[in-house]
């Protein structure tokens, strides 16, 4: 990781190397932390943060589910993100707000812990690599089951969830795949470890509903809106494992991965190896996040120098 200049911590911009916390920070031990992943991208009018307000709304909803009281308003944190991008001075970056139970008390009960908030940003290319754009990725259905709302709220972007995601990711990589696909406890397709999934069959686009145990992705929501513009038929419904194998096209969606074609699942080629509808969506998505689609400029928060 390449160091940038500043990180925002509890209201102050500190130097990158000084952004440190105590080893007995509660959230580090018990996973009581919620976070976001946001992208700032270059546009013809300079750097712009994509759907900042929507990400911040999800951040506060995640905190609410864990009864974390954040001592800043969404507006203050949005402004801090913008200011951070400005201070770090690079046109494209990934922005990571995190709220966590801080140092002070140990034990499983986080109720008496102060909630600290930090925002970092760094340079991050395509999470699934360059090939994910051109050729598409190879995925495998994981032996690990996606957490469900009887264990942890899947719709909260909580650090603890990523212990489950990490197991699935490691297993897939060890088996020589690029990415995992997790099923839920009912055996239906949920999502990837850090991205949602879409299927296209007979020119109809579909994705698992929120009730399948997914994180409601902001890219997922973006794709759904773009598909409607492209007059692609769409519905949300459960997807079975075998429907993955027999799909015409499959793709992942997420802030870090963008829209990434899936060319193979468990050794089976998807469709004929061509992705006409996915590529249409990918192109419109890329143009949208890079400020080239006027009607979606409402999704961009500009960072003036």
Q: Site residues (CB under 6 A) for ligand PMP? A: 37, 165, 191, 194-196, 215, 217-220, 253-255
Which H or E run includes 171? Answer: helix 161-174
CA distances from 124 to 3, 105, 138, 189, 197 (A): 12, 34, 21, 28, 21
- For the bound state, the minimum distance from the C-beta of residue 260 to ligand PMP, rounded and expressed in Å, comes to 11
Annotated active-site residue 157? The verdict is yes
- For the bound state, the minimum distance from the C-beta of residue 257 to ligand PMP, rounded and expressed in Å, comes to 8
* Of 85 and 218, CB closest to ligand PMP: 218
* Of 101 and 219, CB closest to ligand PMP: 219
Considering only CA atoms, which of 138, 144, 170, 135 is closest in space to residue 267?
138
Dmax of the chain from CA atoms? 57
CB 7 within 8 A of CB 120: yes
* Of 196 and 288, CB closest to ligand PMP: 196
- For the bound state, the minimum distance from the C-beta of residue 255 to ligand PMP, rounded and expressed in Å, comes to 3
Query: What is the DSSP annotation of 132-183?
Result: HHHT-EEEEE-SSPPP-TTTS-TTS-BTTHHHHHHHHHHHHHHTT-SEEEEE
Considering only CA atoms, which of 173, 116, 121, 101 is closest in space to residue 142?
173
- For the bound state, the minimum distance from the C-beta of residue 273 to ligand PMP, rounded and expressed in Å, comes to 25
- For the bound state, the minimum distance from the C-beta of residue 229 to ligand PMP, rounded and expressed in Å, comes to 18
CB 136 within 8 A of CB 262: yes
* Of 34 and 113, CB closest to ligand PMP: 34
3-state secondary structure 245-278: HCCCEEEEEECCCEEEEEEEECCEECCCCCCHHH
* Of 118 and 218, CB closest to ligand PMP: 218
**Which of the following is catalytic: 69, 135, 157, 169?**
157
The catalytic residues are 157
């Amino acid at each position: 990781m390449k160091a940038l200049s500043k990180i925002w911590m509890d209201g102050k911009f500190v130097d990158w190397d000084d952004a440190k916390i105590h080893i007995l920070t509660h959230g580090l031990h018990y996973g009581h932390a919620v976070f976001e992943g946001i992208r700032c991208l270059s546009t013809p009018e300079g750097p712009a943060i994509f759907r900042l307000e929507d990400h911040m709304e999800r951040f506060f909803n995640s905190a609410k589910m864990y009864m974390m009281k954040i001592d800043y308003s969404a507006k203050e944190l949005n402004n801090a993100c913008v200011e951070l991008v400005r201070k770090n001075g690079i046109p494209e970056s990934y922005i990571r707000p995190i709220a966590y139970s801080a140092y002070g008390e140990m034990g499983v009960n986080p109720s008496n812990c102060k909630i600290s908030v930090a925002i970092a940003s760094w340079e991050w290319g395509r999470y699934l690599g360059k090939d994910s754009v051109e050729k598409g990725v190879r995925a495998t259905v994981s032996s690990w089951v996606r957490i469900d709302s009887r264990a942890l709220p899947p719709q909260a972007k909580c650090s603890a969830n990523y212990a489950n995601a990490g197991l699935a990711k490691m297993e897939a990589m060890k088996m020589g795949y690029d990415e995992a696909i997790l099923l839920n406890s009912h055996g239906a397709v949920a999502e990837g470890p850090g991205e949602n999934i879409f299927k296209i069959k007979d020119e109809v686009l579909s994705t698992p509903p929120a009730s399948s145990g997914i994180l409601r992705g902001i890219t997922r929501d973006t794709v759904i809106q773009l598909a409607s513009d492209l007059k692609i038929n769409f519905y949300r419904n459960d997807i079975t494992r075998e429907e993955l194998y027999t799909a015409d096209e499959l793709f992942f969606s997420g802030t870090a991965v963008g829209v990434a074609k899936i060319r193979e699942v468990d050794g089976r080629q998807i469709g004929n190896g061509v992705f006409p509808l996915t590529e249409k969506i990918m192109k419109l998505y890329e143009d949208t996040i890079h400020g080239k689609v006027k009607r979606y400029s409402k999704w961009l928060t500009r960072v003036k120098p």
